[in-house]
Chains A and B, each alone.
Chain A
Amino acid sequence: MRWWAILLILLALPLRAQDTGERVVAALSQNNVAINATFVGSEILVFGAIRREAPVPPDELGVIVTIQGPSGPLTVHRRERVAGIWVNTDWLEVHEAPSFYAVATTAPLESILTEEEDQQHAISVPRAIRASGTAAEDVPAFTEALIRIRADQGLYQQLDGAVSVDHDTLFRTRITLPSNLTEGTYLTRIFLMRGGEVIDVEEAAIHVQKVGLERLLFVMAHDRPLLYGLLALVVAVAAGWGASALFRFARG
């Protein structure tokens, strides 16, 4: 049994693409992000080192860090002029689009990542979006629009050259999570690249969760909707009455 295991390991080792013995070891400045009432966004520091037994290979070293928020379906609509009026006509159903996606790299993405590897690991922003079963013909225009709109909101970030590397070994980058963040698990991936190929991947999770009053209101709105609605009305009526009483008091 033991011999079989060793044989299997020996067989498996060369199968790892261009194994140079390089491994990535990474850590995050925080694994938990708490959304409280004064949450204005958060900065995540991703840092680590490249471990190797052999001498440094000649190919240029690349490091890519991605952070991906919870995914979900959405619809992209396009307006067109019909009889002089701008109306929504075509649309595209996107099955899976991350609510947040950031890619930080050591160099321009296309120079350190081949098309095939991007396809396999879904690293670049357009690869992270899965749009199938569409109602419109012109798919790229719709996905480009989706990326453009979300990039404007700081939700999709492509940060070329944002990862710095020291002595071919240590790397670090900072990625800003914006304030319009949704709850959930944010998957962080760190890719070690040589000659456009992925050599090693390390993954870590960031848990983003509402806390305190934010959590209380969110849970109540979903678990006790009628009570929550009535509470909203009580607040409204009490405030309305309060303001009226205040003004009457102020006027004597």
Chain B
Amino acid sequence: MQIYLPIAEVSANAFLLFGVGGMVGLLSGMFGVGGGFLITPLLFFIGIPPAVAVATGANQVVASSVSGVLAHLRRRTVDFRMGSVLLGGGLLGSALGIWVFNILSSAGQIDLFVQLSYVLFLGLIGAMMFQESLRAMLRNRSAATRPPRRNQHNWIHRLPMKVKFRTSGLYISVIPPVLVGLAVGFLAAIMGVGGGFIMVPAMIYLLGMPTKVVVGTSLFQIIFVTAFTTLMHATTNYSVDLMLATLLILGGVLGAQFGTRLGLKLRAEQLRILLAIMVLLVAGKIAYDLLVRPDELYSITVPRRH
């Protein structure tokens, strides 16, 4: 069934859009990533103009994140206090990121910079996660007697302004989460994604949060980041397509519910290794696009009408 999308000004198959939304929602509910990195290229592939794909993708992520968070909420796997602290740092970081982004884009070649930072960051994070979770899986298989390494004391625990994050089972200074939020917000603004991809590993490895809590907490803060992005795009570029968004959202919210259930069935290290594989695949795909000769060397950019 073809549906004409009023802002994108193309017609697309409604079931295909529903399916794309569902798939991205599934991953979102499972891993706590927004899925903006995935939905934008998929929509672009269907023939949606890039500006509309980015803006409408952000709107869909709001919906699947709300759906996912509500599912996590019932299982008490959302750390609101940690989420709010990360969000505070994140908003500050993204303001800083937008400022740097504008400087870079006036210097030209922002696209290349973004793609290279994607490959570098995602490749590095993915490789580290993969190695760690593989080791954890092997260790679990060989001997289950070893005590978990969490609650280790290091320099992070000597910082002032300690706060109790009950859901995460942490009693740490508020400074590291704020800095993590700041850094992720900064990178997310520059790279044009919600940042769940960097946030989730940072919460696991830098803050030492339990994997199960990380997914819900990440989704919680993604809601606000993507809601802000949606509003920004709607008011400055007029590029949010409500018809397209509705179809993606219907798929997305259902996918997120299934994803959450699937994610909770998996063991922590299984979840981490799957996420690591996905991160590596995305990094690999971008690297491939940069290195292999494209079929069509030319591309058309049409400025949006106002």
Contacts and interface: CB of A to CB of B under 8 A. Distances in A.
B243 A217 contact: yes
A247 B257 contact: yes
B114 to A, nearest CB: 12
A161 to B, nearest CB: 28
Contact of A239 (B9, B67, B292): B67
A225 B10 contact: no
Contacts of A148: 298
B110 to A, nearest CB: 11
B7 A235 contact: no
Given A76-B300, A229-B234, A221 B242 contact: yes
A88 B242 CA distance: 32
A149 B62 CA distance: 34
B2 A40 contact: yes
A237 B62 contact: yes
Contacts, number: 190
A85 interface: yes
Interface string B264-306: 0000000000000000000000000111111011111111011
Contact of B230 (A213, A221, A232): A232
Contact of A179 (B11, B109, B240, B301): B11
B300 A239 contact: no
Interface in A96-151: 142, 145-146, 148-150
Given A74-B303, A179-B2, A221 B253 contact: no
Contact of A229 (B47, B240, B306): B240
Contacts of A40: 2, 4, 11
B112 interface: yes
Interface string A225-250: 11011111101110111111011100
B256 interface: yes
Most buried by B among A39, A239, A243: A243
Interface string A209-223: 010011101100110
A87 interface: yes
B256 to A, nearest CB: 7
Interface in B92-111: 109, 111
B154 interface: no
Contacts of B2: 38, 40, 179
A74 B290 CA distance: 24
B243 A37 contact: yes
Contacts of B294: 79, 86
A237 B112 contact: no
Contact of B4 (A37, A78, A149): A37
A153 B244 CA distance: 20
Interface string A22-42: 000000000000011111110
A88 B111 contact: yes
B234 to A, nearest CB: 3
Nearest to A217: B6
B254 A243 contact: yes
Contact of B231 (A79, A80, A226, A241): A226
Given A77-B299, A217-B243, A225-B235, A179 B10 contact: yes
B66 A236 contact: yes
Nearest to B301: A75
A103 B77 CA distance: 62
A81 interface: yes
Interface string B237-253: 01011110110011011
Contacts of A164: none
Given A35-B4, A72-B305, A229-B230, A236 B299 contact: no
A180 B11 contact: yes
Contacts of A39: 4, 11
Given A74-B303, A241-B67, 12 more contacts: A36-B4, A76-B299, A87-B112, A149-B299, A210-B6, A226-B234, A229-B240, A232-B242, A239-B249, A240-B68, A243-B254, A244-B257
